[in-house]
Structure 1
Amino acid sequence: MEEKTAQTESIDDVYHDNHEHPAPTEEDWKELPEVSDIIPKSAYLVILVEFCERFTYYGLSGPFQNYIQYPQPESYPADQPGAMGKGQQTATALTTFFQFWCYITPIFGAIVADQYWGKYKTILVFACIYMAGLIILTLTSIPPALDNNSSFPGYVVAIIIIGLGTGGIKSNVSPLVAEQYRSRSPFVKTLKNGRRVIVTPQATYQKIFNMFYWGINIGSLSAIATTELEKNVGFWPAFLLPTLMFIPCIIVVLLGRNKYVQNPPRGSVFIEAGKLFILNWKVKGGLAACKPSALALTHPELAAKVTWDDVFVDELKRTLKACIVFCWFPIYWLCYSQMTNNLVSQASTMLTGNVPNDIMQNIDPIALIILIPLMDTFIYPFLRRVGIPMRPIMRITCGFFFAAVAMGYTAGIQSKIYKTAPYYDHPEGQNWISAAYQIPSYVLVAISEIFAAITGLEYAYKKAPQSMKSIVMALFLLTNCFASILAFALVSVAVDPKLTWMYTGISGACAVATILFYICHRKNDDDDVEQDAIGRSDEELNGNLSPKTVAPVEYEAEKAGV
C-alpha cells in the first residue's frame, strides 16, 4: 500500500512550519476532521513478519480439509485431491482442533513474553518451534509416508507444534506493530493549503491495524498456490512452499532487531492477577479492597505481603472491563470459521470447473485486499468528514451484522444445493450448481472482518494498559478458541442433509448477538469520545504516560532520517 493516502494526507501535507501542535479545543473537535499520523518505518517491518507467517499458516491450512477428508487419488492431476480418507466429520473436527489450539497457545506466548523474554525474543524463539512443525508436516506428506499410513500421526504432531509456534507469535506481533507508534495524544496540524486537522491516535491505530490486516490477507493468498499444487502435483509440494516461505520470516525478525521499538518484560500479569483474585476471595469487597492502600486500613498484615500497587489493581479492573466486549466474539468467529472447513466441503458438492474446491476460500482475502484500502483511503475519511467517525463499538456491531447475513445467505445456497440434481440432499459428488454462488458468502464475511476482526485487534490494544498489551491481545485471540469449542459441538450436524439448519442456526445466533452487543456496549463509544476530547489516552489516565504530544518530536526525527 502507498504510504501517502487520503486519510493520512501524507507527512509533508500535514507538516506545518510553525512546529507548534496545540491540543484540540472543544470547538476543534466539533469542526475539524480527524486524520492519522505518520506510520513509523519499523511498523512496516513488523507487518512484513506477519505477512510471511500468515503466508505459511494459510498456505498450510488451505489444503487441510481435503488432506484429511478424501482418500489418495490414483494419479495427478486429481479431480478430487486427498490423502487420508477420514471423511468430512473427522476433517472438520481436526481442522477445528487446529484452530482451537492456535488460539489457546497465545496465552502461553503472552506469559513468556511478559514474564521472561519480551515480545521480540518470544517471537524469534517460537518462530524456530514453528519451523520444526513445518518440517515434520512436509516430511510426513511425501508419497512413501502416505503409503505407510504415517501421514495421520505426523499431521497430529505437526499441528500441535505449529500451533504452539503460532501462539508465541500471534500474541506478540500485533501489539508489537502498534507499539512502534508512540504518540498518545491528539493534536492540531495545519496543512500547506491552510486546512486544519486533528491528528488522533484513534485514527492512527485504525490505519495501522488496517495495514496489518491487509498484510495478513496478502499472505493468505498463498492458499491459491498450495491448493493448485495439491490438485496437480500432491500435498508434499503444497506444504513445502509455505515451509520455505517461513525462512524469510525468521530472517526479517533477525535483521530488524535493532530497528523495533521494544518494551522490556514487566512480569506476568497472570501470576499477579491470580494472587490478586485469590486475595479478593479471602478479603471480599471487590478488587478495590485489595489495593495496598485499602489493605493497610483493613488488613495491615496482608498489606505488607502483596506484590502489586494501587495502579496495578486499577489497570486490571480496566482490562477486565474491556475484555467483557470480547465475550461476544466467539459467535462471530464461529461464522468466520465456516470458510475453512464446511464451506470447503460445500464447494466439493458444486461445479468448480477445473479449479480445486478449496480454492474458493481465497475469495475472502482477495475481497479484503480490495476493500481494506478503499475503506482506509476513502470510506472512513469520508465518514469522519461528514461527522460519522465510526467508533469501535459501532464498527464491531456492523461486523457482527454482516457475518449473520453471510451465514443466512450460505444457508440459502445449501438449500439450493439440496434441491439440485443429480444427488439432491445426499450429494455423493457434484450437484449441477455452480460454486460461483458461494462468492457473496465470502465477500460478506470479508466485509464483516473489516468491521469486527480488525477493530477487535485495535480495541484490544488501545484499551489494554501498557503492562498488559500482550495478555489482552491473547485474551482477544482466545475468543477464537471458544468459537472452536462451539464448532466442535456442531460437528454432529455438519453432515448432509442437516447443513441448511446448521447455517441457519449460526446466522440466527449471530443476529441476536449483534442486537444484544450494541445494546450492552454502545456507551463505550461515548467514553472514547470523552477521552479523546480531553487529549489523553487510556495509559495517560492511569499515569503511565505524561499527557504531552510526542508525535511532533517523532516527526522531526523522521524528517531527519533518524
Structure 2
Amino acid sequence: MSMVGDIQRNTEVKEPASLKDGAGNGAVKLEKKARYPYGAVFFLLTSTVGQSYSGIGLQAVLELYFTRFLFVCLTQADQLGTAAVNVYIALYQICALSAGFLADRILGNFLTQVLSTLLTTIGICLLSFSTWQYTVSPPGCCVANSNNKSVYLSGSEYSGSFNWSSNCSELDKVTILNQIDLNISPTLNMVLSIIGLTFFSVGYGHINAIQSVLVADQFTEEQTKSKERSFSWYYWCCNIGALVGESGMPVLRQSVGFIIAWITILGTTSSSAILFFSGGYLYFKKKPERLKCACSKKPSSNETNPLLNKEQRTTSQYLKTRLKELLPFVGVFTPLIVFWAIFYQQNSTWILQGTMMNCHLGALHVPPDLMPSVNDFLVLFIIPVLDYIVYPHLEKTMGVKIRPLHKLVAGMMSAALSFLLSGLLQLYLVKLPQGQDCLGDISIAWQLPQIVLISFAEVLVAVTGLEFAYSQAPPDFRNVITSFWFISQALGTLLNAGLAQIPGLTLRDEFFMYTGLMALVTALFVAVNWRFKYRDPS
C-alpha cells in the first residue's frame, strides 16, 4: 500500500466558511482535527503482547531446555546451557543496531518487522520440529524399545523390551510411545534447534527494538500527548506478555513438556503475525531515507548545507553532520548502562537474600525466585498511575512541564533507594545472633518495599527512555536512536555479569556498593545533561 501523508492518514480537513479576497491578501487557514488511530494502535499493541509472551516465555525455560535436553549427553551440560542462554539474550539485544539501520535507511520500519516476524515464525517451527523427535526425561526414567526401534532418551540409546521404571510418569510413557517410530540423528536435532533459536532470537531482537517507533509514528505531531503516552501503553503491553510468559511457560514445561511449550509459542507467534499483518492497511508507513552518494558531484557555491541538498551531498559529509546531532545521546544513554546492570540484580542477589528469609506468608509458600514477578505485576499499575494521575498533578501544582530527563533522574534515584533498603535489610539479617534461625523471624514480605521502588525506577527509566529517544532524535534517525537505547540495556547485562565476578564481597557489601555506584552515576548524569537542549518537535 502506498504511503499517505500525515493529514491523509488520520486528519480531517475542513474548508473555512469564508476566504480572503482574491488579491491574495492573507493565507487560507485550514482547520485540522486529528483523529485517534484506534485501529492501527489496536493491531500493533495486541501483536506486541504476543511477541513479548513468545520471547520472554521461551527465555524462561531455555536454560532447562539446554541442560536437561539438548546438551544432556555432553560433558559440562550446565555450564554450556548457561553460556548458551547468555548468547541467546545477547544476540537479540545486539540485533537492535541492525534493526535501527534497516528501518531508517533500507527497508523501512514496517517491512523490517514483516521480515523479522517471518524469521521468528520459521525459527520456532524448526525448534518445535527438532524437539518433537525426542522426549525429555531424567536419565534412567524410562526405557523403551519395540521391534528393534530404539528410542534416543536422555543422551543414551536404550534397547530391550518395554521396561518402565517406577518413577516414569504416565505422561513420559505416552510421549515415548508416540515417538517410538521416529528416528532422527541427535546431531541433526541439535543443529536444527540451534538454527531455530538463532532465527527466533534475531527476529525477536529486530521487532523488539523498533516496534515502539512504529506505534508512535501512527500519531501526528499535533497529537503530542497521545504520542508520549503511546510508549507507556507499548511498555504496558510488553509487561503483560512478559508476565504471562514468565509465569506460564515454566508450568507448561513441567506439566506437558517442552514440545507443548514450543507449540504454544508457535501458536502465539503466528497469531501475533496475523494480527500485525491484518492491520497493515491502517498503518502509516514512513519511507526510509536512503543515503545517496554523489561523490562525483561537487555542490555549487550556494549549496553549502548538506541537510538541505541531499542529492548533492557526499555520504561522508552527511554522516559527519549527523554524528554531531547524535553525540548528546551518548551523555544520556551511557550512564544508564549502570542502571540496567544494577536493575538486573533483582534476578540474582535479591533471590539469594530471599533464601535467608521466611518464605511463608501464612499458609502461602512464596519461593524467593517468584519475587521478581511481583515487579512485572506492579509495573502494570504504576504506568497508568504515573501517566494519568501523578504527572498531570505535578505539572498542575508546580506549573512546570516534567521533562524526560527529570523522569530519568527520578528513576535512578529510586533505584539507589531500593538498594539502600536491601542493604539495610541484609544488615539486619547478618546481625542476628549466631545459631538463631532467621527463617522464623523475618518474612520475605520485607522485600516488598525495595521491589516497589525498583518497579517505579523501571517505569521512570524504561518508558521515558523510549519516549526520549523518539522525540529527541532526528526524524530520519528515530529507529537508530531507539536501537541505541536497547544497546545500553545489552551493555548493562554484560556489566551485571562482570559485577557478579568481583571476589570477596558479601551480599551486604554488594547492596551498599550498588547504592553508592547508582548515587554516583546519578550525580554524573545530572552534571553532564543539566544543560541538555531539547529538540522542538515542530
- TM-score w.r.t. the length of structure 1 is 0.67
Q: Deviations over 1:497-524 (max 9, x none)?
A: 7444334333322111111111221222
Q: Distance in 1 between matches of 2:53 and 2:302?
A: 51
Name which of 441, 444, 466 aligns with 1:457. 466
Are 2:403 and 1:381 aligned?
no
Q: Distance in 1 between matches of 2:241 and 2:312?
A: 49
Tell me the amino acid that sits aligned with residue 124 of structure 1. Answer: V
Are 2:106 and 1:116 aligned?
yes
Q: For residues 135 and 418 of structure 1, do their structure 2 counterparts lie closer, same or farther at Cα, with a shift above 3 Å needed? A: farther
Q: Distance in 1 between matches of 2:349 and 2:191?
A: 23
Q: Give secondary structure in 1 for the equivalent of 2:282.
A: coil
Q: For residues 304 and 213 of structure 1, do their structure 2 counterparts lie closer, same or farther at Cα, with a shift above 3 Å needed? A: closer
Moved more, 134-143 or 375-384: 134-143
Q: For residues 88 and 491 of structure 1, do their structure 2 counterparts lie closer, same or farther at Cα, with a shift above 3 Å needed? A: farther
Q: Deviations over 1:373-393 (max 9, x none)?
A: 111111111112121422111
Are 2:475 and 1:466 aligned?
yes
Residues 399 and 449, structure 1, Cα contact 8 Å, conserved in 2: yes
The equivalent of 1:253 in structure 2 is 276
Tell me the amino acid that sits aligned with residue 261 of structure 1. Answer: F
Are 2:332 and 1:325 aligned?
yes
Moved more, 354-363 or 365-374: 354-363
Name which of 505, 510, 513 aligns with 2:513. 505
Are 2:290 and 1:267 aligned?
yes
The equivalent of 1:78 in structure 2 is none
Q: Distance in 2 between matches of 1:410 and 1:67?
A: 32
Are 2:171 and 1:148 aligned?
no
Are 2:212 and 1:215 aligned?
no
Residues 101 and 481, structure 1, Cα contact 8 Å, conserved in 2: no
Residues 399 and 447, structure 1, Cα contact 8 Å, conserved in 2: yes
Tell me the amino acid that sits aligned with residue 241 of structure 2. Answer: G
Q: For residues 369 and 306 of structure 1, do their structure 2 counterparts lie closer, same or farther at Cα, with a shift above 3 Å needed? A: same
Name which of 267, 283, 288 aligns with 1:244. 267
Q: Deviations over 1:341-365 (max 9, x none)?
A: 5545655665365566543322112
Residues 119 and 200, structure 2, Cα contact 8 Å, conserved in 1: yes
Q: Distance in 1 between matches of 2:441 and 2:254?
A: 21
Residues 364 and 443, structure 1, Cα contact 8 Å, conserved in 2: yes
Q: Deviations over 1:150-209 (max 9, x none)?
A: 79887765543332112221232111111111225xxxxxxxxxxxxxxx72x3332111
Aligned residues: 447
Q: For residues 391 and 296 of structure 1, do their structure 2 counterparts lie closer, same or farther at Cα, with a shift above 3 Å needed? A: closer
Name which of 199, 204, 219 aligns with 1:161. 199
The equivalent of 2:169 in structure 1 is none
- TM-score w.r.t. the length of structure 2 is 0.70
Are 2:188 and 1:181 aligned?
no
The equivalent of 1:44 in structure 2 is 42
Gaps of 5+ in 1: 1-17, 20-36, 73-81, 185-199, 277-290, 298-302, 541-562
Q: Distance in 1 between matches of 2:75 and 2:354?
A: 18
Q: Distance in 2 between matches of 1:323 and 1:522?
A: 14
Tell me the amino acid that sits aligned with residue 104 of structure 2. Answer: D
Are 2:486 and 1:489 aligned?
no
Q: Give secondary structure in 1 for the equivalent of 2:402.
A: coil
The equivalent of 1:441 in structure 2 is 450
The equivalent of 1:476 in structure 2 is 485
Residues 68 and 91, structure 1, Cα contact 8 Å, conserved in 2: yes
Q: Once the 2 structures are TM-superposed, how far is the Cα of residue 412 of structure 1 from its aligned partner? A: 4.3
Name which of 335, 342, 345 aligns with 1:335. 342
Residues 93 and 205, structure 2, Cα contact 8 Å, conserved in 1: yes
Q: Distance in 1 between matches of 2:427 and 2:65?
A: 26
Moved more, 352-361 or 461-470: 352-361
Q: Once the 2 structures are TM-superposed, how far is the Cα of residue 474 of structure 1 from its aligned partner? A: 0.8
Q: Distance in 1 between matches of 2:374 and 2:300?
A: 56
Q: Distance in 1 between matches of 2:513 and 2:84?
A: 22
The equivalent of 1:556 in structure 2 is none
Q: Give the root-mean-square deviation of aligned CA atoms.
A: 4.4
Q: Give secondary structure in 2 for the equivalent of 1:226.
A: helix
Q: Distance in 1 between matches of 2:452 and 2:492?
A: 21
Q: Once the 2 structures are TM-superposed, how far is the Cα of residue 241 of structure 1 from its aligned partner? A: 3.1
Q: Distance in 1 between matches of 2:190 and 2:444?
A: 30
Q: For residues 437 and 175 of structure 1, do their structure 2 counterparts lie closer, same or farther at Cα, with a shift above 3 Å needed? A: same
Q: Give secondary structure in 2 for the equivalent of 1:389.
A: coil
Q: Once the 2 structures are TM-superposed, how far is the Cα of residue 51 of structure 1 from its aligned partner? A: 1.5
The equivalent of 2:210 in structure 1 is 172
Tell me the amino acid that sits aligned with residue 61 of structure 1. Answer: Q
Q: For residues 458 and 362 of structure 1, do their structure 2 counterparts lie closer, same or farther at Cα, with a shift above 3 Å needed? A: same
Residues 104 and 478, structure 1, Cα contact 8 Å, conserved in 2: yes
Are 2:378 and 1:367 aligned?
yes
Gaps of 5+ in 2: 1-15, 18-33, 138-151, 157-185, 305-309
Q: Once the 2 structures are TM-superposed, how far is the Cα of residue 292 of structure 1 from its aligned partner? A: 6.0
Higher relative contact order (CA 8 A, sep 6+): 1
Considering only CA atoms, is the larger Rg found in Structure 1 or Structure 2? 2
Name which of 515, 526, 531 aligns with 1:523. 531
Name which of 389, 392, 417 aligns with 1:405. 417
Q: Distance in 1 between matches of 2:204 and 2:495?
A: 21
Tell me the amino acid that sits aligned with residue 109 of structure 1. Answer: A
Q: Distance in 1 between matches of 2:99 and 2:277?
A: 19
Q: For residues 491 and 465 of structure 1, do their structure 2 counterparts lie closer, same or farther at Cα, with a shift above 3 Å needed? A: same
Identity of aligned residues (%): 22
Q: Give secondary structure in 2 for the equivalent of 1:523.
A: coil
Q: Distance in 1 between matches of 2:319 and 2:485?
A: 20
Q: Distance in 2 between matches of 1:148 and 1:505?
A: 44
Q: Distance in 2 between matches of 1:415 and 1:84?
A: 42
Q: Distance in 2 between matches of 1:135 and 1:361?
A: 30
Q: Once the 2 structures are TM-superposed, how far is the Cα of residue 38 of structure 1 from its aligned partner? A: 6.2
Q: Distance in 2 between matches of 1:155 and 1:443?
A: 38
Q: Once the 2 structures are TM-superposed, how far is the Cα of residue 96 of structure 1 from its aligned partner? A: 4.2
Q: Deviations over 1:31-61 (max 9, x none)?
A: xxxxxx8642222322222221111122222
Q: Give secondary structure in 2 for the equivalent of 1:221.
A: helix
Q: Give secondary structure in 2 for the equivalent of 1:473.
A: helix
Q: Deviations over 1:536-560 (max 9, x none)?
A: 52xx4xxxxxxxxxxxxxxxxxxxx
